Structure 1
Amino acid sequence: MRSEEEILGAATRHLNADPTASMAGLAEAAGVSRATLHRHFASREDLLRALGERATRRWEESQDAADIDAAAASGDPDRMATALRVMLNAFVVDADDFGFALTDHFVNRIPELVAWATRLEDREIAFYAACQDAGVLRPDLPVRWLSNTVYGLMISVRESLRRGDVARRDAPALLLGTFLAGAGPTPGPTPGPAMGTSRAPQNDHDGGRA
């Protein structure tokens, strides 16, 4: 018998390929009967909520594993650079979960998940800002642009893995290389918008972070 964690993983992967999948389709993808799926989750909405909670919890665990708060407080560029790499590598491991949570509109309308995600995003933005101050990331880019760039790259990782465009073992280096090539420190000044640009409010067409 498949565990609930295995069912959630299979459901996430299937929804990334078919966001409108029914409970019957999700049960088939998970290798369980509809009755078994309904014993775990009474409705599709309950399943989506569980997937959103799982993804958000993993996001927080990735931040914790990298110890980004302590790294930012240390002011040590080497420690921050290491924390950045650890966190982004962890994000790649959970690319399926991130990709789902970042784009599912139902998940992004659950108030408690939105509040949780906002807290995690603020925490991450504070870390990126500390990295900018320490010269680990470019200081001329709006810090929320850096956050949104990671958001976009996680969607790219998810889709590239889902389609077989890249090998999973190559994804961490591709993510880090792409992000740091654009956001890493440069030898000379690079034109860019002024710091402090605020993020536009989300609307119905903005996936947001779950």
Structure 2
Amino acid sequence: MMAVTADQIVTAAIHHLNDHPTASMAELAEAAGVSRATLHRHFSSRDDLLVALGRRALERWQQAQDAVGLTAAAQENDQDRLRGTLRDLLTALVEVADEHGFALTDHAMAVHPDLLRRSDELEEREIALFAAAQRAGVLRAELPVRWISNTWYGLLVAVRESLRRGDVARRDMAGLLVDAFFNGAGR
């Protein structure tokens, strides 16, 4: 039998917690296919496991931002580049919806100082992109940039919930999300 890694446990736990947010360590061990003793060797408490999940979620969020060149695009005034970066970021976030959804909704993210600080930093990067898109006329300038950020957040929670419940096929989600975002906040 092959040993299960902490990374494999984190993956299984995120998927299980997205469906069962109050799952116990015993239930998480079962979902990961390990004994409680093995789970506790990797994570001494549920809080330790949640922090690891939060770190993974933030990692995936930043990877999505970096993959689309968010920081560079936020320095531009090119409408096509900004529109494309927003579209590509939404699509990338659908791909990591399980992890990113955890970062958007789990209580651990709001109470652990390091996770909260990092989450705020990543959100600020997106807000800089939204502000650049507003200045370039891609997004509506009369909307408060924080409203756009909160709308983006709400749409991403809807993605995670729609996928979790099976309301929308994963293959259709990016198109629906991009359409909803640009038809609500776009020019």
TM range (shorter): over 0.9
Any conservation in 1 of the 2:54–2:108 contact (CA below 8 Å)?
Answer: no
- Measure the CA separation in 1 of the matches of 2:83 and 2:6: 36
Matching residue of 2:116: 114
- Measure the CA separation in 1 of the matches of 2:172 and 2:8: 24
**Which structure 2 residues correspond to residues 66-81 of structure 1 after superposition, within 5 A?**
66-81=68-83
2:32 to 30, 33, 53: 30
Aligned residues: 185
Which residue identity lines up with residue 53 of structure 1 in the other structure? R
Which residue identity lines up with residue 40 of structure 2 in the other structure? H
- Measure the CA separation in 2 of the matches of 1:101 and 1:68: 19
Matching residue of 1:19: 21
Which residue identity lines up with residue 128 of structure 1 in the other structure? F
State yes or no: 1:144 paired with 2:162: no
- Measure the CA separation in 1 of the matches of 2:11 and 2:158: 19
Structure 1 unmatched runs, 5+: 186-210
Q: What are the Cα deviations for residues 128-171 of structure 1, in whole angstroms up to 9, with x where unaligned? A: 00001111111111111111111111111111111111111111
Matching residue of 2:127: 125
Q: SS at 1:62's partner residue?
A: helix
**TM-score under structure 1 normalisation?**
0.84
State yes or no: 1:7 paired with 2:9: yes
Deviation at 1:4, TM superposition (A): 2.7
Percent identity reads 60
C-alpha RMSD of matched pairs (Å): 1.2
Higher fraction of helix: 2
Any conservation in 1 of the 2:79–2:137 contact (CA below 8 Å)?
Answer: yes
Which residue identity lines up with residue 180 of structure 2 in the other structure? T
**Which structure 2 residues correspond to residues 46-195 of structure 1 after superposition, within 5 A?**
46-185=48-187
Q: SS at 2:107's partner residue?
A: coil
Q: SS at 2:74's partner residue?
A: helix
Structure 2 unmatched runs, 5+: none
Which residue identity lines up with residue 21 of structure 1 in the other structure? A
**TM-score under structure 2 normalisation?**
0.94
Deviation at 1:76, TM superposition (A): 0.9
- Measure the CA separation in 2 of the matches of 1:146 and 1:86: 17
